[in-house]
């Protein structure tokens, strides 16, 4: 039986399915599948042409839901971050999206807002949606991955500095990074170096605090004041005000995030003091904002794109069958002006 509907361009009975294409091209539905997916069977060139033609004419586009149901994979990944408005996380999300797209995966974005409940709800929701994997930049020390485990969905922990038994995780050497930032301040001759530390949900001591402490100890310098506050501009601003008002004001401050440093800069400016003249500042993350603050921040840069690429590889790429592993990335001190170094370079990024 040969095609006999070739004259009617579109039957127009709702969305075009594989069946319509098959009928139009005068072949079976299997053949359509073969040409759409490039396999698993070969198709004669002439037939292929007919099918391609039918596809074009009818405007056929495969139904991803059906495909996902059949294959058990939606070619979709989930990403849970605390807050997409935070430059560090939006950068991370962007990088993850790019890396995932490279492998044909789409990204479901969710913000947990730092809430345990929301994080759990998102994990559950993503699992129900049959994502093929999830990236989790968790606010929890021990995230609740039960739902993922049950659905057999792989997961990689992002922004995770310490090893978590049984999990793939990606992180940066916080302590080492913090050391370089503090040592740089020490090198500038500072001996009263404060710390503006972000507050984590975990009660464990943060690697950045460790690094700050170690650098000071190794240099035989007494610990400066330390203030804990949110990892935000406002948190930094408040911390800055307290640091400035304290009994013996530091001559330099290391902030655990660029956002905090930006808040600190404002507190210092408002106090009528100069950076780095009166107080030097260094920070952590290396987001774009740090390059355009005034003065530009000397900061410890996290290799976000490399981490995102590694995360995708571990989740659904080449490394997906290797045993769970904690991958630590090195940081790089990006010297600009807030530390006291002479103005060298004009801005280069966006």
Partner DNA sequence: TTGAAAGCGCTAACAA
Partner DNA sequence: TTGTTAGCGCTTTCAA
Residues that bind its own copies (CB under 8 A): 15, 59, 61-66, 68-69, 74, 76, 83-85, 87, 90-91, 93-94, 97-98, 101, 106-111, 124-130, 147, 150-152, 230, 232-235, 237, 259, 262-263, 265-266, 269-270, 288-289, 291-294, 296, 343, 346-350
Nearer to its own copies, 168 or 232 (CB): 232
Q: Quick one: DSSP state of residue 166? A: T
CB 156 within 8 A of CB 169: yes
Give burial (CB, 10 Å; 0-12/13-18/19+) of 242. Answer: middle
Q: How far is the CB of 240 from its own copies (least distance, A)?
A: 11
Q: How far is the CB of 33 from DNA (least distance, A)?
A: 3
Nearer to DNA, 72 or 342 (CB): 72
Binding site for DNA (CB under 7 A): 14-15, 17-19, 26-34, 36-37, 39-44, 46-48, 62-63, 66-67, 69-72
What count of other Cβ atoms lies within 10 Å of the Cβ of residue 30?
A: 11
Q: CB under 5 to 8 A by kind: which of its own copies, DNA, none does 40 bind?
A: DNA
Q: CB under 5 to 8 A by kind: which of DNA, its own copies, none does 44 bind?
A: DNA
Q: How far is the CB of 18 from DNA (least distance, A)?
A: 3
- Could you tell me which residues come within 8 angstroms of residue 131 by beta carbon, excluding any fewer than 6 positions away? 74, 76, 77, 78, 108, 153
Give burial (CB, 10 Å; 0-12/13-18/19+) of 256. Answer: buried
Nearer to its own copies, 22 or 80 (CB): 80
Q: How far is the CB of 58 from DNA (least distance, A)?
A: 11
Q: How many CA atoms lie within 13 A of 333 on its CB side?
A: 21
Q: CB under 5 to 8 A by kind: which of DNA, its own copies, none does 6 bind?
A: none
- Could you tell me which residues come within 8 angstroms of residue 137 by beta carbon, excluding any fewer than 6 positions away? 79, 80, 81, 82, 89, 92, 157, 158, 159, 160
């Amino acid at each position: 039986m040969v095609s006999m509907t070739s004259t009617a361009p579109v039957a127009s009975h709702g969305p075009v399915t594989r069946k319509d294409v098959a009928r139009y091209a005068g072949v079976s539905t299997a053949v359509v599948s073969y040409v759409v997916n490039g396999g698993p069977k070969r198709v004669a060139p002439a037939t292929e042409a007919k099918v391609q033609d039918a596809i074009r004419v009818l405007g056929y586009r495969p139904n991803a839901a059906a495909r996902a149901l059949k294959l058990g994979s939606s070619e979709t990944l989930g990403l849970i971050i605390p807050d997409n408005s935070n430059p560090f996380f939006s950068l991370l999300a962007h990088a993850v999206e790019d890396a995932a797209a490279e492998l044909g995966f789409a990204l479901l974005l969710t913000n947990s807002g730092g809430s345990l409940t929301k994080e759990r709800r998102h994990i559950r929701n993503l699992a129900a949606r049959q994502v093929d994997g999830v990236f989790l930049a968790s606010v929890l020390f021990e995230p609740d991955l039960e739902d993922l485990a049950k659905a057999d969905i792989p997961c990689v922990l992002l922004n995770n500095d310490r090893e978590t038994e049984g999990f793939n995780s990606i992180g940066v050497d916080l302590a080492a990074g913090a050391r370089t930032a503090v040592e740089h301040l020490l090198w500038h001759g500072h001996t009263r170096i404060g710390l503006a530390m972000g507050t984590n949900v975990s009660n464990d001591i943060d690697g950045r605090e460790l690094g700050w402490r170690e650098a000071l100890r190794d240099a035989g310098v007494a610990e400066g004041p330390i203030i804990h506050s949110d990892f935000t501009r406002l948190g930094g601003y408040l911390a800055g005000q307290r640091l400035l008002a304290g009994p013996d004001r530091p001559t330099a401050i290391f902030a655990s995030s660029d956002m905090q440093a930006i808040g600190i800069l404002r507190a210092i400016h408002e106090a009528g003091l100069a950076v780095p003249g009166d107080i030097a500042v260094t920070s952590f993350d290396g987001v774009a904002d740090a390059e355009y603050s005034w003065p530009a921040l000397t900061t410890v840069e996290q290799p976000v794109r490399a981490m995102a690429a590694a995360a995708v590889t571990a989740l659904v790429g080449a490394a997906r069958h290797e045993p769970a592993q904690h991958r630590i990335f090195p940081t790089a001190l990006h010297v600009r002006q807030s530390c006291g170094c002479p103005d060298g370079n004009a801005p280069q990024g966006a």
